[in-house]
A and B are shown apart, each in its own frame.
Chain A
């Protein structure tokens, strides 16, 4: 099966308070696909990024990572991601830049054009629901993502 040109990888733990921002965005986008939209988009989710996710980037034109952030300016930040060897290589969870670096190293070619939407979160306790502020930021980020600028930049 041919890979869809756009990959949206929304990650986080659904039961860790605002860490659920990524999976919550995944669910919103899944509803759009069920309604017949986002035909060129493949949606993936996981608890966190890992080395094998480099293999999910193959044959993509564009990759959008979506994660909760403790430091992004509210409501969200939208930034390009370049391959970078960073210290996240040394933990069980990796940064998007580190995943791109693994892609580049194992495939010996540049990774696809990649961006991250970092949605500001505030509380990450086990069993906590999304905070009200995070929920509001999620809606704003969703509207931004569905706009032409992100998914259809050309």
Chain B
């Protein structure tokens, strides 16, 4: 049990260690560990220190602006916000069924986005941990280390990422701030030339994606017990699912299963999400804590994202990914795979599926059609849900008679995983840090656990000049006793020695 570590009995008597900000995690997260005099963990929490104000940003805006506007919520996954806003505004204009061309072009864009996001995470953000181990020297444990030791892998990562960006550019019309998806459809089809341009590299992309799955399986098998145990927690899992149970990241119903794989709800119309999910708040975090209403906040928290999706789906529609899904599920021996590091494995199965699905779409002539838009009657309420790279993403808008947003509610993917990330760091703190001297490699293990979820903690302000890592040690009165900093060049020391 780790939840006893959420709140210590007598925090006033404990030392506080702060890891801030987390590296290889987007945004401004902070981990605080309260230690007793013998360095035993008494409390562990992941804090989100920036208040995002997404809803306020959207309120008062005309609905037709939303698919473009919401891209600015996040520099990491603007396409996910773009597409989910388009889905919600489809509903606002009464467009209940898109044309085949519009839906397939949106799906192509979404596969491109997911491919490039997953490629970045594996090849750039987490492969250093996995390839070199968590105790490797910090300067080596990054992409340059990967490139030096595995030059082809690193280059493939760059080229996979680039390919995904090109799919986005072709479908959205621009590399960034695209306007491809609009209420009721899309504003451009794919030309023959554009299709040929994307077709010429897709077999290579599939081969590299398959290679990445082979690599993660090799990494897992080399230290199987360790990878299965590290930061592992038993959790409910929720994801979107197609009507026939197939993996689907663009549209479907909601499926939730308990830690043993028993169905909690299935094929739920996401327009009714408020009946099934609640968002709890805790005084120490800006980020909400969603949970399954019927189970309550104590037991109803869940995980989303690749691990949940690959565990929850009945099959993939593409052959290579389906073969890999079966191998993945075999590891669970009848239960969902609960290892947090298995997020990486599941993410790469999805990467492979995206590559295969892009190829399928590139041979579908519907992409070339000019039948792109449908219209209907204006509605007051629009809800869009899709599976973003990091998990289920909800946009809920309500508009007035002038089409201006009166109310907005967003549940972003990382928020869905909030409790799960906290549970994972408690597990790590309990098993790997307790009673030991705190060192950078040990602290990194907590970051490794969080990175498995690929969280996006804030969205995309990045101005130069921030200290990459700071660790503060405070006594029980909150007085600073010691401080450890990581400089931009990776050097670690106190303010006096740096």
For A47, list chain B residues within 8 Å (CB). 75, 78, 176, 460, 462
For B176, list chain A residues within 8 Å (CB). 45-47
Bound Cα distance from A84 to B54, whole angstroms = 35
Asked if A33 CB lies within 8 Å of chain B CBs, one says no
Interface residues on B, range: 35 or more
Bound Cα distance from A16 to B78, whole angstroms = 14
Partner of B461, one of A55, A72, A118, A124: A124
Q: Which of B135-165 contact A (CB under 8 A)?
A: 139, 141-144, 147-148, 151, 154-155, 157-159, 161-162, 165
Bound Cα distance from A19 to B489, whole angstroms = 23
Q: Least Cβ distance of A89 to chain B in Å?
A: 4
Residue of B nearest to A124 (CB): B461
For A88, list chain B residues within 8 Å (CB). 468, 488
Asked if B326 CB lies within 8 Å of chain A CBs, one says no
Contacts A89-B142, A126-B57 given; indicate if A18 touches B23 (C-beta within 8 A): no
Q: Least Cβ distance of B164 to chain A in Å?
A: 8
Interface residues on A, range: 35 or more
Asked if A32 CB lies within 8 Å of chain B CBs, one says no
Asked if B498 CB lies within 8 Å of chain A CBs, one says no
For A52, list chain B residues within 8 Å (CB). 116, 158, 161-162, 165
Are A106 and B165 in touch, CB under 8 angstroms?
A: no
Are A68 and B151 in touch, CB under 8 angstroms?
A: no
Residue of A nearest to B164 (CB): A52
Residue of A nearest to B56 (CB): A127
The A-B contact count (CB < 8 A) is 146
Bound Cα distance from A14 to B154, whole angstroms = 31
Are B158 and A95 in touch, CB under 8 angstroms?
A: no
Residue of B nearest to A71 (CB): B465
Are B125 and A126 in touch, CB under 8 angstroms?
A: no
Q: In the complex, which of the residues B142, B468, B469 has the most CB atoms of chain A within 10 Å of its own CB atom?
A: B142
For A90, list chain B residues within 8 Å (CB). 23-24, 125, 128, 141-142, 468
Q: In the complex, which of the residues B78, B151, B162, B456 has the most CB atoms of chain A within 10 Å of its own CB atom?
A: B162
Are B147 and A69 in touch, CB under 8 angstroms?
A: no
Q: Least Cβ distance of A72 to chain B in Å?
A: 7
Partner of A93, one of B26, B54, B73, B128: B26
Q: In the complex, which of the residues B57, B459, B462 has the most CB atoms of chain A within 10 Å of its own CB atom?
A: B462
Are B72 and A15 in touch, CB under 8 angstroms?
A: yes
Are B155 and A106 in touch, CB under 8 angstroms?
A: yes
Are A69 and B465 in touch, CB under 8 angstroms?
A: yes
Q: Least Cβ distance of A13 to chain B in Å?
A: 5
Asked if A121 CB lies within 8 Å of chain B CBs, one says yes
Are A13 and B144 in touch, CB under 8 angstroms?
A: no
Residue of A nearest to B176 (CB): A46
Encode contact with B along A1-27: 1 for CB under 8 Å, 0 otherwise.
000000000001111111100000000
Asked if A140 CB lies within 8 Å of chain B CBs, one says no
Contacts A19-B461, A50-B120, A106-B154 given; indicate if A87 touches B53 (C-beta within 8 A): no
Bound Cα distance from A68 to B460, whole angstroms = 13
Q: Least Cβ distance of A124 to chain B in Å?
A: 4
Asked if A101 CB lies within 8 Å of chain B CBs, one says yes
Contacts A13-B460, A55-B162, A92-B125 given; indicate if A48 touches B72 (C-beta within 8 A): no
Instruction: For the complex of A and B, list the 6 residue pairs with the smallest distance between their C-beta atoms, beginning with the closest.
Output: A47-B75, A71-B465, A15-B72, A92-B26, A89-B142, A52-B162
On A, residues with C-beta under 8 Å from B are: 12-19, 44-48, 50-52, 54-55, 67-72, 84-93, 95, 101-102, 105-106, 118, 121, 124-127
On B, residues with C-beta under 8 Å from A are: 23-26, 52-54, 56-57, 69, 72-73, 75-76, 78, 116, 120, 123-125, 128, 139, 141-144, 147-148, 151, 154-155, 157-159, 161-162, 165, 175-177, 456, 459-466, 468-469, 486-490
A-B contact pairs, 13 of them (CB 8 A): A16-B461, A46-B75, A70-B463, A70-B465, A85-B144, A87-B23, A87-B490, A89-B124, A92-B75, A92-B120, A93-B75, A93-B462, A106-B151
